[in-house]
Structure 1
Amino acid sequence: MTPAARISAAIEVLADIETRRRPATDALKDWGLSHRFAGSKDRAAIASLVYDALRRKSSAAWIMGDATPRATVLGMLRLQRGLTVDAVAALCSGERFAPEPLSAAERERLEKADLGGAPAPIAGDFPDWIEPSLQRLFDGDLVPEMQALATRAPLDLRVNPLKVSSRDEAHDALPHLGAVETPLSPLGLRIAPSEDGRGPAVQSEPEFIKGWIEIQDEGSQLAALISGVKPGEQVVDLCAGGGGKTLALAAMMDNQGQIYATDNDARRLAPIHDRLARAGARNVQVRTPRAKADAVSDLDGRIDCVLVDAPCTGIGTWRRNPDAKWRLRPGSLDVRRKEQAAVLDRAAALARPGGRIVYITCSILPEENDDALTAFLERNDGFKPLPQADVLAQAGLGHLSALTHATAFGLQMTPHRTGTDGFFVAVLQRAS
């Protein structure tokens, strides 16, 4: 397919997403099935165009004065990809499979491409109903923070100390990936996003198969390190899901002590078994709930550290899931807040006297972070938040203090400040 034909295809997919109100992955899959002539490179390039258009949906519509799929793609090519007006016009020749030529109005709009005077939700490309919440956290930095959340995310890898002696050893074994060391995590490697959005097939690399590396955002790596788990401790990963943080904790504990990995959705635990075997993590006991029965009730009052990677809106991952931002509704936030309250209360029962709860979300909304902890502390006597400066110092991550947003109870990582996904982390300790 020509570049122009890919533009037409992206417009078609965006129209399908808008008409049928469904996730981009589903629309892209159906387009690929009905256009089997398109090769893997074509499909990847079209997906990249679609996701970039969703990243800049509001700002593209603003500069074009129109919110149609065509206008969104044209505006994105100017704002996100930096194409000149002539370059955009060349792609829109009206020839076979190419979009129709630019109108005089479209050309004029593209030449100006001005976001001056645009409201924050437009300039930052986010739903306007969450602006008051975001202002609480970011204040004057709101627009640059949200613009950073509209960029492409890199591919981060975590080096597994259970299988490889150092980050350098893993790095030197993967020169063809062009990875560099992550600036904040001592275990991370980073692969920059490619021009066409295609990432390397890391899962097929021998080093991945041998368990040397795992795919994990640097922010998630840091959240695990902040937990401060130590060899010999008793740990519960209460929302373990596929096991990304469980694996990181097992490496931190050098397979000594015990981690109990569970999740209230048994289906989410399915990948964890193969991942544990590949990583060489031997101190993890997977507790799969059955018939909604509590899988860790026998551990109440015995646990040194309860990791709560809480269910949340996932706003901090919008770089990777740009269509999710436009499907977010106030009702979703209400549901997540109830789930967060329930899982925090469950964690409280597990923590031993002197034990701690590490609360993590991939959200930047105060309602899911500090507000959730405020409500928890009102419901549960005997817990106190630990000063983040002390927590970071003990984890050997004191350098994060100057980069993150300090909140009432924790710290907030963001793409703008830390180059990571938007992770919130706070540590609470139960009185002895």
Structure 2
Amino acid sequence: MTPAARLSAAIEVLGAIDAQRIPAQKALKEWGTAHRFAGSGDRAAIAGLVFDVLRRRASSAWLLDADTPRARLLGMLKLERGLDADAISALCDGSRFAPEPLTETERAALTSRSLDGAPSYVAGDYPEWLDSHLKRVFGEARVAEAAAMASRAPLDLRVNTLKAKPEKALTSLAHLGARKTPWSPIGLRIDLGADARNPGVHAEEDFIKGGIEVQDEGSQLAALLTGAKPGEQVIDMCAGAGGKTLALAAMMQGKGRLIATDRDKRQLAPIHERLSRAGVHNADVRTPKGPDDTLSDIRASADLVVIDAPCTGTGTWRRNPDAKWRMRPGALDVRIKDQLEVLDRAAPLVKSGGRIAYITCSVLPQENGDQITAFTARHSGFAVVPPAAVAGALGERAGEFLAATHQTPEGLLMTPARTGTDGFFVSILRRG
């Protein structure tokens, strides 16, 4: 397919997303099924265009003064891809499979309009109803913070120190352009271009043998900041597919007791194979069976309870750009209730001197600091560990990392703008 034909395909997919109100991945899959002539490179390029439009949906529509799939695509080409009106016009020439030529109105908009004077939620590309929430945490910096959350994310890998060493993995994956992550001592990063295909990490020998896992650097850091140690009893209450469970196991060096569970047993399905491949032998996976609590036998004995809490996922907008446009206020209310419940379930599991690590991939204060404030009010025996002490788990990089984060008395927040990671909130609560 020509570059122009890819633009036409992207407009078609965006139209399907609007008309059918379906997730972008489903629309892309259906388009690919109906157009089997398109190669993997074409499909990757079309997906890149669609997701870039979703990242810049509000600002692109503002720039063209029209909220249609075509207008949003044209606006994105200028704002995200850096093309000028002439370059865009060359692609939209009306030839076979190409988009129709630019109208005078479209050319004028691409030439003269900008985001000057645009509302914060337009310039930052997020739903208007979230503006007050983002203003509360970021203030006047919310546009810059949100714009960074609309940028393209790299592919981050975590080296599994039970089976590999970071230096050796870096050399082994040099052909993929891997480099060290800025903060995590066990992280590798592969930068992806606008039309890049998936580099096929799952087919690499390092992955097959369990030496690496796909995990955002922010998630790696969140696990490291829990301070899990060999010999401890650690409970991962919201283990899901096991990303942080694997990281905790490596930190424990196979020593101690690691319990992984999740209220939604469907989420746990991949964890068994992942633990086996990673060489983890001290993990006990507890799958829910009926209404009974899988942790009912544990009382005040855990050194560490990790809560990778269910949340709105606002910190992962770089990877799931269509999710932010489908998010509704009611979803926030549901997640807040879920978080309160899991925090209260965790409290009686922790022994004296033990700790709870509360983690979200959200930047919203209602899911982060507000939850911690409310929890310590309900459970007076717990106190927040100061962020400076928490960051000490990163060793010599602690001070620099701490300065990059957004800190509050309740914990610390990583963001794409500040730390180059997904948005993650981390709070450590110690039981007196």
Is contact 1:79–1:113 with CA below 8 Å preserved after alignment? no
Alignment map for 1:87-98 (pairs within 5 Å): 87-98=87-98
Distance between the aligned counterparts of 1:36 and 1:113, measured in 2? 38
Verify the 8 A CA contact 1:78 1:113 in the aligned structure 2: no
- SS for the counterpart of 1:200 is coil
Query: Per-residue CA shift, 1:252-299, capped at 9, x if unaligned?
Result: 010000110000000101111111111111111101011232111111
Cα displacement (A) at 1:197: 3.4
1:108 is aligned to 108
Q: Quick one: distance in 2 between partners of 1:59 and 1:427?
A: 37
Q: Are the equivalent residues in 1 in contact too, given 2:48–2:194 (CA < 8 A)? A: no
Alignment of 1:118-197 (within 5 A): 118-164=118-164, 166-197=165-196
Alignment-derived partner of residue 226 in structure 2: 227
Are positions 1:392 and 2:394 aligned together? no
Q: Which residue of 2 aligns with 1:86?
A: 86
**SS of equivalent to 2:141:** helix
Q: Distance in 2 between matches of 1:108 and 1:67?
A: 16
Q: Does 1:31 align with 2:22?
A: no
- Sequence identity percentage: 60
2:402 pairs with 1:401: yes
Per-residue Cα deviation, 1:141-160 (whole angstroms, up to 9, x for no partner): 11111111011000000111
Q: Does 1:256 align with 2:255?
A: yes
Give 2:135's aligned amino acid.
Q
CA–CA separation in structure 2 for the residues paired with 1:188 and 1:379: 37
SS at match of 1:230: coil
Q: Does structure 1 retain, via aligned residues, the 8 Å contact 2:260–2:285?
A: yes
How far does the alpha carbon of each residue in 1:104-142 deviate from its partner, in whole angstroms, 9 at most, with x for none? 010010012410011110000001111111111111211
Q: Conserved in 1, the CA contact under 8 Å of 2:241 and 2:269?
A: yes
1 CA distance for matches of 2:225 and 2:189? 20
- For the residues of structure 2 that align with 1:224 and 1:265, how far apart are their CA atoms? 21
One-letter amino acid of the structure 2 residue matched with residue 379 of structure 1: R
Amino acid at match of 1:237: D
- Please say which of residues 338-347 and 388-397 is displaced more in the overlay: 388-397
Contact 1:305 1:357 in 2 (8 A): yes
CA 1:345–1:246 in 2, change beyond 3 Å: closer, same or farther?
Answer: same
Q: Deviations over 1:175-215 (max 9, x none)?
A: 11101100100000000012303220000001100111110
Q: For 1:159 and 1:113, locate their aligned partners in 2 and report how far apart those are by CA, in whole Å.
A: 46
Match for residue 54 of structure 1? 54
**Hey, what's the Cα distance between the residues in 1 that align with 2:42 and 2:18?**
22
CA contact (8 A) 2:6 2:42 kept: yes
Q: 1:44·1:198 contact (CA, 8 Å) conserved in 2? A: yes
1:1-23 C-alpha deviation (Å, 9 max, x unpaired) = 11111101111111111111111
TM-superposition CA deviations, 1:344-383 (whole Å, max 9, x none): 0011121111110000000000000001111212222211
Q: Matched residue of 1:94: which SS?
A: coil
Residues of 1 paired with 2:342 and 2:405: CA distance?
Answer: 25
2 CA distance for matches of 1:26 and 1:349?
42
Moved over 3 A (4+): none
> In 2, distance between residues paired with 1:189 and 1:394?
19
Report whether the alignment pairs 1:333 with 2:329.
no
Does the 8 Å CA contact 2:354/2:431 hold for their aligned counterparts?
Answer: yes
**Other-structure match for 2:69:** 69
Task: Measure, in 2, the Cα distance between the counterparts of 1:113 and 1:364.
Answer: 31
SS at match of 1:198: coil
Q: CA deviation at 1:395?
A: 4.3
Q: What residue identity is the alignment partner of 1:90? A: A
Q: Which moved more, 1:349-358 or 1:62-71?
A: 349-358
What residue number does 2:99 align with? 99
Partner of 1:425: 426
**Could you tell me which residue of structure 2 aligns to residue 410 of structure 1?**
411
- One-letter amino acid matched to 1:145: E
- Indicate if the aligned counterparts of 2:386 and 2:409 stay in contact, CA closer than 8 A: no
Structure 1: distance between partners of 2:195 and 2:393: 41
Aligned residue pairs total 430
Please report the TM-score for the alignment, with normalisation by the length of structure 2. Answer: 0.98
The one-letter amino acid of 1:241's match is G
Which letter maps to 1:420? T
SS at match of 2:404: coil
**d(CA) in 1 for partners of 2:403, 2:425:** 15
Moved more, 192-201 or 304-313: 192-201
- Aligned equivalents of 2:200, 2:112: Cα separation in 1: 40
Equivalent-residue separation in structure 1 for 2:78 and 2:114 (angstroms): 11
Letter of the 2:174 counterpart:
P
5+ residue gaps, structure 1, are: none
User: Unpaired runs of 5+ in structure 2?
Assistant: none
Q: Hey, what's the Cα distance between the residues in 2 that align with 1:154 and 1:112?
A: 32
TM-score by length of 1: 0.98
Distance 1:168 1:380 in 2: 44
The amino acid across from 2:34 in the alignment is: S
Residue 394 (structure 1) shift: 4.1
SS in 2 for 1:367: coil
CA distance in 1, matches of 2:182, 2:368: 25
Q: Which amino acid aligns with 1:115?
A: L
Aligned residue for 1:401, secondary structure, equals helix
1:14-53 deviation per Cα after TM superposition (whole angstroms, max 9, x unaligned): 1111111111011111111111111111111111100000
Structure 2 residue matching 1:28: 3-state secondary structure: helix
Amino acid corresponding to residue 366 of structure 2 in structure 1:
E
Contact 1:155 1:199 in 2 (8 A): no
